[in-house]
Structure 1
Amino acid sequence: MNPKRVVIVGGSGFIGSAIANRLCEAGVRVLIPTRRRSRAGHVLLLPNTEVVEADVHDPATLARLFADADAVINTVGVLHSRPGSPFGPDFARAHVELPQKIVAACRSAAVPHLVHISALGAYDAGPSEYQRSKAAGETAIRAGAPELVSTILRPSVVFGRGDSFLNLFAGLARIFPVLPLAGADARFQPVYVEDVAEAAWQSLVRPDAANQIFELAGPTVYTLRQLVEYVSALVGKPRPVIALPEHLAMLQARLMELAPQPLMSRDNVRSMKVDNVASGTPQPFGLTPTALEAVAPGWLGTGSPRAFYYPFRRHARR
């Protein structure tokens, strides 16, 4: 399949904008619905891209947006929610109800292919509400078969310029002399955002991607402690890391939940009880994963504005 028009739900977000850039590079026309067009300036400049204000939770709006689309990519995800069972209402809305609406709209508009960004660790009996809601979202996507062909991508924690992972720890290292850390021994296999974008593109054009689930991860497994120590050293602020026992980690997370934009939640701590590591090959389609150390210094190692253009130089092989 060679798609000519693709709708990216969540296309103005961190992962979505990287996918939009990759599709534009391939000459695809991209439509990005967003709640506020004024906050999507970084994708407005992409060629072949249309950004429209729309409520993607409205089924009629989705059906209208998907008309004549060759494919839809869903990148919507949230990290925090009010609590609930088996998961909270915010997780339910973003991770379950929205995929259900997207599948219905795809079938109504006869969209042939849906690519869904899930998460490594999605499991219906997982220890966290996040993991359980992601698993329920995958079930909603697969329910579109056989009329709708789908591909589900499960990335580990995603890093890149503008991420909310490495940049979070870099910011904390610049402020605090010591870093108390929940889940210090939790294992992650971080994947570069451009690798996720490439996998999404390959999922659209390769016949062997139809109705498959692929894990996305980087080449190296790290503990959270190793990642925090690496990032703090990279920004020139090496900090001692103090591993918190579970009861103190939960207390720290509970206090952080009181912030208007929480950096951590108790549900995040529960997620870290399960290693976020690929079960097999870290990248599908024979793709070679990018090492964190090869690119992170491009935006964390310097404060230079030139670091912003690192992904574009990499694509141009300069």
Structure 2
Amino acid sequence: MSKLVTIYGGSGFVGRYIARRMAKAGWRVRVAVRRPNEALFVQTYGVVGQVEPELCNIRDDASVRHAMRGADAVVNCVGILNNLGKNKFDAVHHEGAERIARLASLAGIKRMVHLSSISADVDSDSEYARTKGLGEQSVKTYFPDATILRPSVVFGVEDQFFNRFASMTTFSMVLPLVGGNSRFQPVYVDDVAAAAEVALTGDAPTGVYELGGPEVDTLKGLVEYMLKEIQRRRLVVNLPFWVGSVMGFGFDMMQAMSGGLIPNTILSRDQVRLLKHDNVVSEGARGLADLGIKPTPFEAVAPDYLWRFRPSGEYASIKESAKKLRKA
């Protein structure tokens, strides 16, 4: 019988790519999510019955244990960018990761992949980074042979990085940035999934891997690249961190006063703290090359999904070609 992998958060941005890869590799895939009815699309990644979503609450032992029954491997892809409702940073990044690792170890599961962040640091002033660091510590404690993947900012068709800034250009002539001089090393989502696949199949040593693409650039530089790609001119303004903190406070209060009905998807105070630090692969760290993966440059992928933000949309390339014909 084919091996079975349970992917917690397997319908999310990164998780769905891992699910697709594992299905293509012949594995059975169980996608453990809070809302399985919204994850039915994962069934198309394999033959009938090969990939199935299942209800799971990462905050509950019984739910997590049930989702990993009979599994040969588990992957934890659950992560949040904002405290909302009962899904707090500590509950998800720390306690949730600990719960999966502890129960997987007790169940005798052979392999575990934990998706963390390149910013993970137990001493960070950012709650996101601090709880990511605590989650890594717990995983190492309960599942010492786990493979921990630390990606920089992840890009791809469904990303909330290039897409977010590009969407802002449709209603604003100014793009305000906080941390515009902070450096990033964008990594392609399918390269992260490929790293998880290598780890799950046992084709690489376990341990910690920091994942970044071939280019390092500032946040401002990446936004300017995006503007050039979508053929729009906008004023990019790099705001001081104190201004970002004031803005983040306002958006956080709006979420709190609305009882979470208006979630802060713009900028939080914690994100401002995170933006004060570079988000790049550490010198000497193991990375994609150590897993036999050639990193994909964002210039090779981003145009395939950013075209929809161009003023002429899908017709931009046709118009450009027509101009060249007239000149000839």
Matched, 1:286 2:292: yes
- Name the residue aligned to 2:259: none
Q: Contact (CA 8 Å) 2:2, 2:26: kept in 1 or not?
A: no
How many residue pairs end up in the alignment? 295
Kindly report the root-mean-square deviation, in angstroms, between the aligned alpha carbons of the 2 structures.
Answer: 1.9
The correspondence of residues 88-237 of structure 1 with structure 2, limited to 5 A, is: 90-145=88-143, 149-206=145-202, 208-210=204-206, 212-237=207-232
1:32 aligns to what? 31
Distance in 1 separating the partners of 2:39 and 2:74:
19
> What residue identity is the alignment partner of 2:208?
I
Query: 2-side partners of 1:218 and 1:279: how far apart?
Result: 13
Give the aligned partner of residue 309 of structure 1.
Answer: none
Partner of 1:4: 3
1:246 to 241, 249, 260: 241
- C-alpha change, 1:8 and 1:89, in structure 2 (3 Å) is closer
Partner residue in 2 for 1:14: 13
Q: Matches of 1:73 and 1:175 in 2, distance apart? A: 39
C-alpha change, 1:234 and 1:66, in structure 2 (3 Å) is same
1:78-97 equivalence runs, <5 A: 78-81=80-83, 90-97=88-95
- The structural deviation recorded for 1:255 is 2.5
How far does the alpha carbon of each residue in 1:117-144 deviate from its partner, in whole angstroms, 9 at most, with x for none? 0000211112311111100000010011
Q: Which residue of 1 aligns with 2:307?
A: 301
Kindly state the Cα deviation for residue 54 of structure 1 after the two structures are TM-superposed.
2.6
Please identify, of 188-197 and 295-304, the stretch whose mean Cα deviation from structure 2 is larger: 295-304
| 3-state SS of 1:175 partner | coil
SS in 2 for 1:13: coil
Q: Are the counterparts in 1 of residues 102 and 143 from structure 2 also a CA contact under 8 Å?
A: no
Contact 2:198 2:204 in 1 (8 A): no
Code of the residue aligned with 1:297 in structure 2: it is: P
The offset of 1:89, in angstroms, is: 7.3
Supply the AA of the counterpart residue of 2:26: G
Name the stretch that deviates more: 189-198 or 123-132. Answer: 123-132
Separation in structure 2 between the aligned mates of residue 89 and residue 14 of structure 1, nearest angstrom: 18
What is the SS of the residue equivalent to 2:169? helix
TM-score of the aligned structures, taking structure 1 as reference length: 0.88
Indicate conservation of the 8 Å contact 1:217/1:282, yes or no. Answer: yes
Q: Give, as a single letter, the amino acid of the residue that structure 1 aligns with 2:278.
A: D
Sort the Cα spacing of 1:38 and 1:224 in 2 relative to 1 into closer, same or farther, 3 A: same
Identical columns (%)? 39
Q: Aligned-pair distance for 1:4?
A: 1.3
Following the alignment from structure 2 to structure 1, what is the Cα–Cα distance between the partners of residues 232 and 263?
24
Partner secondary structure for residue 109 of structure 2:
coil
Q: 1 CA distance for matches of 2:65 and 2:221?
A: 45
Q: Partners in 2 of 1:89 and 1:68 — Cα distance?
A: 27
CA distance in 2, matches of 1:20, 1:225: 33
2:277 and 2:107 map into 1 onto residues whose CA distance is 39
| 1:207 to partner: Cα distance | 5.1
The amino acid of 1:152's aligned partner reads: I
Runs of 5+ consecutive residues of structure 2 not aligned to the other structure: 256-261, 315-328
Which residue pairs with 1:64 in the alignment?
66
Cross-structure match for 1:277: 280
Show the counterpart of 2:45.
Answer: 46
Counterpart AA for 1:104: R
Shift of 1:81: 2.2
Divergent runs of 4+, >4 A: none
Q: Does 1:264 align with 2:267?
A: yes
SS of the residue aligned with 1:299? helix
